[in-house]
Amino acid sequence: MSTLEIKDLSVSVNDKPILSNLSLTVNSGEIHALMGPNGNGKSTLLSTIMGDPDYTVTHGSIMLDGKDVLSMSVDQRSKAGIFLAMQYPIEIPGVTNSDFLKEAINARRESPIRLFEFYRLMEGAIHDLKMKPDLAHRFLNQGFSGGEKKRNEIVQMKLLKPSIAMLDETDSGLDVDALKLVADAILDLHQTAPMGMLVVSHYKRFYDYLHPSHVHVLINGSIILSGEKDLIERIDSEGYDWIYRQYGIDPSNNGKTSSGLLGTCATKGAFNGNL
């Protein structure tokens, strides 16, 4: 049983404030959906929890089961059970998936995993995500398609078995079949070892598979609205305009007025009136 507790978190990038006084608690077994227009801080929140050096915490705290996450290095956070399936997984030439994963698994073990055991686990994960069998011997993310990269993140997640799992638009770039595959793999892992999950997606379809227990809307660096699944339904059909109006938010205040991009990744037609 794990609890991730974010309190009054403010974060800047290059002295530009992105998150302000954000608070959120995620417990094992819970799936939190994080929604909101682009450029409002969803990825920032996830990256900050993971420890991305580009983000500077200016205020607040992040605790994992009472331990101060902000004082941990990135690898310590990983070993403590935090995992981030990244929006843009990095390519590492010359390093095979299997060498990398073996080292990542061994990083959290007293004694190194036996090779036989490792390959059994890896082959299982590759099979579950219907990746090509040569994945183990390919270089980490190098030359992978967008969808392969995203699936490979979930292969890693399955093998590393985090207690807190964060998915940053893992579903974008996946075709319809792959989306279901990835969702099933996540749910399978979640059922055997319940995680606390923080999921960023623009797709109702992905959330339909995952059945989030909590839904939050992040605008201008703060969670301004939380609810349950019906919130996803409403955003999917109506967009964010009603939230702006209801909470008196001027969307042009958002430094990055990139909400025009939304139409490309949200349900078609939902934003026609807003742009």
Partner 1 sequence: MSNNQHVYDGADHYKYGFSDGNISVFNTGIGLNDDVVKTISSLKHEPKWMLDYRLKSLHHFINRPLPSFGPKLDDIDFDGFTYFNRAADKESANWDDVPEKIKNTFDTLGIPQAERDFLAGVTTQYDSEAVYHNMLDEVKEKGVIFLDTDSALKQYPELFQKYFGTLVPYTDNKFAALNGAVWSGGSFIYVPKGVTLEKPLQSYFRINSANMGQFERTLIIVDDDAHVHYVEGCTAPIYSKESLHAAVVEIFVGKHASCRYSTIQNWSDNIVNLVTKRASVDAYGSMEWIDGNIGSAINMKYPACILKGEHANGYCVSIAVASRKQKQDAGAKMIHLAPYTTSTIISKSVARLGGETNYRGYVSHGPHADHARSKVECDTLILDDISRSDTIPTNISTNQTSTIEHEATVSKISEDQIYYLMSRGLTRDQATQMIIMGFIEPFTKELPMEYAVELNQLLKLDMSGSVG
Paired with 165 in beta bridges are 83, 197
Q: Looking up tokens 């909590």, which residue turns up?
A: 214
Give the 3-state secondary structure of residue 239: coil
Per CB under 8 A, contacts with partner 1 among 102-141 are 103-104, 107-108, 139-140
Among 9, 26, 50, 195, binds partner 1 (CB under 8 A): 50
DSSP code at position 30: -
The CB-of-137 to partner 1 minimum distance in angstroms stands at 11
Among 36, 39, 51, 60, binds partner 1 (CB under 8 A): 51
Q: How far is CA 230 from CA 69, 156, 209, 213, in A?
A: 32, 31, 14, 11
Q: Could you give the residue ranges of the DSSP H alpha helices within 24-145? A: 42-50, 74-80, 97-106, 115-128
CA distances 239 to 23, 28, 37, 190, 275, Å, are 24, 30, 9, 29, 11
CB of 50 to partner 1, least distance (A): 5
75 lines the binding site for partner 1 (CB under 8 A): yes
The contact pattern for partner 1, residues 153-192, with x = CB under 8 A and - = no contact, is ---x---x--------------------------------
Of 104 and 187, nearer to partner 1 (C-beta) is 104
86 lines the binding site for partner 1 (CB under 8 A): yes
Regarding 4 and contact with partner 1 (CB under 8 A), the answer is no
The residue from 1, 14, 15, 53 that contacts partner 1 (CB under 8 A) is 53
How many Å separate Cα 132 from the centre of its chain? 24
Q: Which is nearer to partner 1, 77 or 216 (CB)?
A: 77
